Amino acid sequence: MDKEIAGMIVAVNDEGYLTNLEQWTKEIGEAIAGEENIAMTEQHWKVIEFLQHAHRNSEALSIRSLGKHGPVSIKEFYVLFPGGPLKKASRIAGIPKPASCV
Amino acid sequence: MNKLLILGAGTAGTMMANHLRPRLDAEWEISIVDQEETHYYQPGFLFLPFDIYKPKQLQKRIDKFVPAGVNLIRQGIDRIVPDKNEVVLTNGKELQYDILIIATGTKIAPQEVSGMLGPLWQKDIFDFYTFAGAKALRDKIRSWPGGKMVVHICEMPIKCPVAPLEFAFLADSFFVEKGMRDRVDLTFVTPLSGAFTKPTATEKLGHLLAEKNIRIVSDFAIERIDNENHKLVDYGGQEVDFDLLVTVPTNMGDEAIARSGIGDDLNFVPTNNATLQTTIKDNIFAIGDATNVPASKAGSVAHFESEILTENILRYVRGEPLKEEFDGHANCFVETGHGKALLIDFNYSHEPVEGTFPFPGVGPLTLLKESRMNHIGKLAFRWVYWNMLLKGRHIPFVTAQMDERGKHFRESEV
């Protein structure tokens, strides 16, 4: 389905995750962060860039890979995106939600 | 003489040996390396803790399934040296190969979470992903008086991603039958956003947890286990108390992959999703749990992969382009307790949906819906595993690529 975010019409799924990363802009990320009550800072954007880069390279994302290769520690990641950080950061980044098989 | 070497005689490696021996001529010497004595029927580890299967039903000798004409080398693997087309064994012996198939699987790595291997390990903290763990848990549960039971996943990916949920369902069923369900507080703790994460499954199956009175704690990324206070602690500061913890530790690929310097963070081998050729070198292929392909780590996936990898090995031998055919197909029974089960069928691009299997519109098995027939199917599968799957026999009516007929797909959005 389509949704208007930050004045742009983008394709999203039922849970509000963008289905096409090419439609993502920083303004859209900012607007989704607002819905999650997160005020974006430079540290936040570093995490978002890391996630998008990993997604474009088809790397599986996990808290572990972020802690190991990402710009912040796992503890800091939790402070930046409280309560389900990978899920929230993925939505802001315009990439799919981490999922199991069912 | 050409040499094909398979690393690992588990489900995937054994199937490849059985597929390839009759299809490669006598010019090809095939060897398979594994240090284990026993081949375990791993889906049975789910049932062992509840005394549904007996230990001896789950184990056979590993050599029983290695076909005539294939050398079984009983040694540990030290490392792969791709530049020299060579594998070094733990006894220092070097094996040359023309084609290598990595089927070294995945193992639990409880040492990855601080405190897991503390004083409570195998006392109040158990895994059921190993034979020893499942058996120790059975002995514990037999005399457990009740209390807080927590079923927990450390991090993804794990082998058989639905097994922890099945465990929780079977535990509910088990304690109801024992007449002590009121003394058991059952909680499911997951690093994901819910027990089910795909929209259709969430919609169709979300009620199961509430119905069975299983509490869920989601988005829980474990940092450590506090042994003294019997608590799980996550990075966000959330805590979950337990009396009996049944955890699925971090799953990692074999240490030999790390020693070879070819794996990812979790020692899984970078592999092309569609061809199953690794990105390490053209003559190295990988199959089953050992790969990093974004399919479920499950025997059914290895089975479907084995049909496509066999074709691709034969093409590689003939110098033909590889088929880009693997679609991530998985087909899994999901026990829901009380003598019922679900069946799910999905691939890289389609989430599990409702419908019938394997015959479109007919069944007899129902997708994503509880039934007794599915439970019977799951129990019958043990025979199929030992007698057909490992031997590389085609399972009638079940195709390597997912059949889209008779299934109710929502408008595709993945």
Measured between CB atoms, does A36 come within 8 Å of chain B? no
Per the CB < 8 Å rule, is A19 touching B413?
A: yes
Q: Which of B228, B250, B272 is the last residue of a domain?
A: B250
CA distances from B245 to B73, B129, B165, B224 (A): 38, 14, 14, 13
**CB distance B197–A102 less than 8 Å?**
yes
Same domain for B125 and B237: yes
Out of A9, A99, A101, A102, the active site residue is A101
Nearest to B5 by CA among B94, B92, B90: B94
pLDDT band at B414 (very low <50, low <70, confident <90, very high): very low
Active site residue A101: yes
Q: Are residues B246 and B114 in the same domain?
A: yes
Q: What is the mean pLDDT of residues B24-34?
A: 97
Same domain as B89, residue B153: no
Residues of B in contact with A89 (CB under 8 A): none
DSSP string, A13-24: -TTS-BS-GGG-
**First-to-last C-alpha distance (Å) of chain B:** 47
Q: Do residues B290 and B336 share a domain?
A: no
Number of structural domains in chain B:
3
Q: Mean pLDDT across chain B, nearest whole number?
A: 94
**Contact assignment for B192 to A15 by CB distance below 8 Å:** no
Alpha helices in B69-155 (DSSP H): 131-142
For residue range B106-145, list pLDDT tens digits in order: 999 999 999 999 999 999 999 999 999 999 999 999 999 9
Considering the domain architecture, whether residues B220 and B128 belong to the same structural domain is answered as: yes
Instruction: Determine contact, residues B97/B80, Cβ cutoff 8 Å.
Output: no
Q: Does residue B210 fall inside a structural domain?
A: yes
Nearest by CB: A87 against B219, B223, B235? B219
- Adjacent-strand bridge partners of B30: B4, B70
Q: Do B334 and A98 touch (CB under 8 A)?
A: no
Percent of the residues in chain B that have a pLDDT greater than 70, as a whole number: 99
Which region, left, alpha or beta, applies to residue A46 given φ > 0 means left and ψ of -120 to 50 means alpha?
Answer: alpha
Do residues B231 and B120 both lie within one domain? yes
Q: What's the domain range around B241?
A: 110-250
For residue B222, give the nearest of B193, B187, B249, B251 by alpha carbon.
B249
Sequence spans of domains, chain A: 2-93
Same domain for B314 and B201?
Answer: no
Mean pLDDT calculated for residue range B387-410: 87
pLDDT of res. A62: 81
Amino acid, res. A70 = G
Question: Within an 8 Å CB–CB cutoff, is residue B192 touching chain A?
Answer: yes
- Domain stop point among B234, B250, B266: B250
DSSP state of B44: G
Mark whether B117 and B100 lie in a shared domain: no
- Who contacts B384 (Cβ-Cβ below 8 Å, separation ≥6)? B395
Question: Domain for residue B52, yes or no?
Answer: no
| Shared domain check, B242 and B118 | yes
Compute CA distances B170 → A4, B93, B113, B380, B404, whole Å: 44, 46, 26, 18, 31
Q: Which residues 6+ apart lie within 8 Å of A102 measured at CB?
A: B161, B162, B196, B197, B198, B201, B205, B334, B344, B346, B351, B352
Of B188, B234, B248, B241, nearest in space to B215 by CA: B188
Helix (H, G, I), strand (E, B) or coil at B210: helix
Are B78 and B25 part of one and the same domain? Answer: yes
Q: Are residues B196 and B158 in the same domain?
A: yes
Q: Is the pLDDT score of B413 beyond 50? A: no
Q: What is the mean pLDDT of residues B319-331?
A: 95
Instruction: Kindly report, residue by residue over A19-56, the tens digit of the pLDDT.
Output: 999 999 999 999 999 999 999 999 999 999 999 999 99
> Is B191 in Cβ contact with A63 (below 8 Å)?
yes
Give me B302's structure tokens: 């290895």
B130 plus B213 within the same structural domain: yes
* B53 is a domain residue: no
- Give the CATH number of the domain where residue B165 resides: 3.50.50.60
Whether the CB-CB separation of B242 and B124 falls below 8 Å is answered with yes
Q: Band of the pLDDT at B410, cuts 50, 70, 90?
A: low
Alpha helices (H) along chain A = 26-35, 42-56, 63-69, 74-80, 85-93
Nearest to B413 among A13, A58, A68 (CB): A13
Residue B216 CA, chain-centre distance (Å), reads: 23
* B339 within a domain of the structure (yes/no): yes
Judged by average pLDDT, the poorest of A87-101, B144-158, B176-190 is A87-101
